[in-house]
């Protein structure tokens, strides 16, 4: 229902003051008091020249059968038949000048998708053509260069120093409204698992970030750049108080490689990893779920050369603790091939340290052999239909094991997350090559039985009680 606003007023009758409602005293501030009134204007004024608007022209192919099917094309004789049909698309986003002398601008990779021409609009009204220096879709960072004098860049801060509760400003070009500023706080740090990018370590903020803000600046109250705005979470595509920014520490590492090489080269250890859950932590004899479980080693990889083993738990990289698989991936991702890292491990309950020289891992696929006959399982494996496979397609042709052909929903294996098509290659830390061998291991184990399984080319651990 509509809200009725009642004004507060006074009536003068015959020289007497009659109050129809309480009279609010008039507030007047002195010049000194006004001078110390809190305002974010000085921060905004210092930041605004370094935040730019980016316009992108691109082309999209028209895939509709109305235009491509020969039957429909006969009705569109005015359209050329030997030229692919395309349409021009205009899009906009935001960017940040991070090096005024070099004319280096950072933005989001998705802002430049299919770009044919890029125009950067400066806060002083100048429009400049931009060239792409490099794009890294894994982190959604792109670097542009512009050629102009009297550019003003932002002061680069440190995102590592941010705390939940810190005030931040988001500056950008939402909905085409250039120079828009919103205020909020840091709601969370190190957000991962959102499926937005390949490498995620987001700053979550409640400052309003809307379409068009992508690539804009996230700054602290010192006017320092601490993040690049990149995404929002909401059912309508508009701001609902949940926005995400790429930490500037990560963005600048990417930018450095993009400027030098035009691409980002990432080192790899050559391991398949998974997070620890309480059951796995108990089974492997560790006190908590902090750390990353190595589920498999890629043959010929740096991990194999260094002596890493499935079942090792990585707890640190170069003395920095890693709590989960996402943190381990990030810790390694910006170290280039050839770099050496020191991994802190727990192996069979004992801490160890191991050096690994990073490289590029790879493996070959080998076609699977159908293997032995199907065998209904009993006991702790009841409800599963199993057969041996001498060479397993699920493990990239590297392992033999026991294929789970069929599985009842009530089976203990099903409760442990096993699915039909999975290949069990180890039980209790030892290889298994047949259903009979797997059944024997299950009967010999009194406590939780650790299984190592391949699924769609990836390995992971689970336990059955």
At residue 374, the pLDDT reads 75
Q: Judging by beta carbons within 10 Å of its beta carbon (0-12, 13-18, 19+), is residue 433 exposed, middle or buried? A: middle
For residue 155, pLDDT beyond 90: yes
Within 10 Å of residue 98's Cβ, how many Cβ atoms? 22
Confidence bin at 279 (pLDDT 50/70/90): confident
DSSP, res 213: -
pLDDT for 67 beyond 70: no
**Per-residue confidence band for 270, with pLDDT thresholds at 50, 70 and 90:** confident
Instruction: Read off the pLDDT of each residue in 195-201 and give the average, rounded to a whole number.
Output: 70
Tell which CATH classification among 3.90.180.10, 2.40.10.10, 2.40.110.10, 3.40.50.300 matches the domain 47-145: 2.40.10.10
Backbone region of residue 176 per phi and psi (left: phi > 0; alpha: psi in -120 to 50; beta: other values): left
pLDDT band at 184 (very low <50, low <70, confident <90, very high): very high
Kind plus residue range of the DSSP H or E element containing 406: strand 401-407
Higher pLDDT, residue 147 or 362: 147
Residue 421 has pLDDT above 60, yes or no: yes
Q: What is the pLDDT of residues 379-405, one digit of tens each?
A: 888 888 888 877 544 444 456 788 888
Return the H-helix or E-strand segment holding 282: helix 278-283
Q: What are the structure tokens assigned to 436, written together?
A: 């009979």
Residue 169 — very low, low, confident or very high, per pLDDT cuts 50/70/90? very high
Q: φ, ψ for residue 258 (rounded to 5)?
A: -65, -40
The fold adopted by the segment(s) 375-464 is Pdz3 Domain (2.30.42)
* Stretch 327-335: mean pLDDT: 83
Cβ 383 vs Cβ 410: under 8 Å: yes
Tell me, what's the pLDDT at 315?
Answer: 93
Q: Per this entry, what is the length of the chain?
A: 465
Cite the active site residues. Answer: 110, 140, 214
Measured distance CA(79)–CA(62) in Å, rounded: 13
For residues 162 and 59, the model is more confident at 162
The pLDDT > 90 percentage for the chain reads: 29
Query: What's the rounded mean pLDDT across residues 352-365?
Result: 67
Q: Is the pLDDT of residue 177 over 80?
A: no
> According to the model, what pLDDT value does residue 460 have?
85
List, in sequence order, every residue forming a beta bridge with 320; answer none if it has no partner: 317
**pLDDT (0 to 100) of residue 85:** 55
One fold for 47-145 and 271-357: no
Span of 66-70, 269-273, 285-289 with lowest mean pLDDT: 66-70
Question: What pLDDT does 197 receive?
Answer: 62
Q: What is the CATH number of domain 155-261?
A: 2.40.10.10
Could you tell me if 119 and 131 are in contact, meaning their C-beta atoms sit under 8 angstroms apart? no
What is the average pLDDT across 185-204?
Answer: 80
Q: What is the pTM of this model?
A: 0.65
Q: What is the pLDDT of residue 223?
A: 93
Angle at the Cα of 255 (from 238 to 342), degrees rounded to 5? 110
According to the model, what pLDDT value does residue 364 have? 29
Within 8 A by CB and 6+ apart from 96, the residues are 50, 51, 52, 105, 106, 107, 154, 215, 216, 217, 225, 228
CATH architecture of 271-357: Roll (2.30)
> What is the tens place of the pLDDT at every residue in 4-37?
333 322 333 334 434 444 444 455 555 665 555 5
Residue 154, pLDDT above cutoff 80: yes
Phi then psi dihedrals of residue 182, to 5 deg = -130, 150
pLDDT score of 18: 42
pLDDT of amino acid 356: 92
458: alpha, beta or left? (left if phi > 0; alpha if psi -120 to 50):
beta
Q: How many other CB atoms are found less than 10 A from the CB of residue 463? A: 17
User: Environment class of residue 418 by beta-carbon count within 10 Å: exposed (0-12), middle (13-18) or buried (19+)?
Assistant: buried
Nearest Cα neighbor of 176 from 50, 54, 48 is 54
Output the pLDDT for position 411: 85
CB 393 within 8 A of CB 378: no
CA distance 1 to 105: 49
Residue where the block lists tokens 């699977």 = 368
Instruction: Please report, for the chain, the start and end positions of each structural domain, with discontinuous segments joined by +.
Output: 47-145, 155-261, 271-357, 375-464
Q: What integer is the mean pLDDT of 309-319?
A: 92
Least confident of 145-154, 191-200, 244-253, 380-389: 191-200
CB-side neighbour CA atoms (13 Å) of 438: 33
- Mean pLDDT (whole number) for 179-193: 86
Residue with tokens 């995620």: 200
* pLDDT at residue 66 in the model: 52
CB count within 10 Å of CB 168 equals 23
Would you state the structure tokens that stand for residue 14, as one six-digit string? 């015959």
Give dist(CA 402, CA 424) in Å, integer.
5
How many C-beta neighbours within 10 Å does residue 366 have?
13
| Joined tokens for residue 285 | 């004899």
What mean pLDDT comes out for the span 272-286? 87
Nearest of 396, 252, 253, 410 to residue 332 by alpha carbon: 253
- What is the DSSP secondary structure assignment for residue 400, as one 8-state letter? -
Q: How do residues 217-269 score in pLDDT, each as one tens digit?
A: 999 999 999 999 987 665 555 566 788 999 999 999 899 989 988 888 888 89
């Amino acid at each position: 229902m509509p809200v009725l606003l009642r004004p507060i007023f006074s009536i003068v009758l015959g020289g007497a003051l009659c109050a129809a409602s309480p009279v609010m005293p008039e507030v007047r501030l002195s010049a000194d008091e006004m001078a110390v009134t809190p305002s974010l204007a000085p921060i905004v004024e210092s930041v605004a020249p370094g935040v730019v608007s980016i316009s992108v022209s691109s082309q999209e192919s028209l895939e509709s059968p109305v235009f491509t099917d020969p039957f429909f094309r006969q009705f569109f004789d005015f359209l050329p038949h030997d030229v692919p049909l395309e349409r021009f698309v205009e899009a906009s986003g935001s960017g940040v000048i991070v090096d005024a002398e070099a004319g280096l601008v950072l933005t989001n990779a998705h802002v430049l998708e299919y770009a044919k021409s890029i125009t950067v609009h400066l806060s002083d009204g100048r429009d400049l053509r931009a060239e792409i220096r490099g794009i890294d879709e894994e982190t959604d960072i792109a670097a542009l260069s512009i050629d102009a004098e009297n550019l003003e860049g932002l002061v680069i801060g440190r995102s590592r120093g941010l705390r939940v509760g810190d005030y931040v400003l988001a500056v950008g070009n939402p909905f085409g409204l250039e120079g828009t500023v919103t205020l909020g706080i840091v709601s969370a740090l190190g957000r991962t698992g959102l499926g937005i990018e390949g490498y995620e370590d987001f700053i979550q903020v409640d400052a309003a970030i809307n379409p068009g803000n992508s690539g804009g600046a996230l700054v602290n109250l010192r006017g320092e750049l601490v993040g690049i705005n990149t995404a929002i979470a909401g059912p309508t595509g508009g701001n609902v108080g949940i926005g995400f920014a790429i930490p500037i520490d990560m963005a600048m590492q990417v930018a450095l490689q993009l400027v030098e090489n035009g691409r980002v080269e990432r080192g790899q250890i050559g391991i398949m990893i998974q997070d620890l859950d309480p059951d796995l932590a108990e089974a492997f004899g560790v006190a908590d779920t902090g750390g990353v479980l190595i589920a498999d080693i890629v043959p010929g990889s740096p991990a194999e050369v260094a002596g890493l083993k499935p079942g090792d738990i990585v707890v640190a990289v170069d003395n920095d603790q890693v709590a989960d698989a996402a943190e381990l991936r990030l810790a390694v991702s910006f170290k280039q091939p050839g770099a050496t890292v020191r991994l802190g491990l727990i192996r069979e309950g004992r801490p160890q340290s191991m050096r690994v020289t990073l490289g590029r891992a790879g493996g070959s696929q080998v076609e699977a052999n159908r293997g032995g006959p199907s065998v209904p399982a009993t006991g702790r494996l009841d409800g599963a239909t199993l057969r041996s496979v001498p060479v397993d397609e699920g493990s990239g042709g590297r392992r033999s094991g026991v294929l789970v052909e069929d599985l009842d929903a009530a089976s203990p294996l099903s409760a442990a997350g096993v699915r039909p098509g999975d290949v069990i290659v180890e039980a209790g830390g030892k290889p298994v090559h047949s259903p009979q061998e797997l059944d024997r291991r299950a009967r010999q184990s009194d406590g939780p039985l650790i299984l190592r399984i391949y699924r769609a080319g990836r390995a992971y651990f689970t336990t059955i009680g």
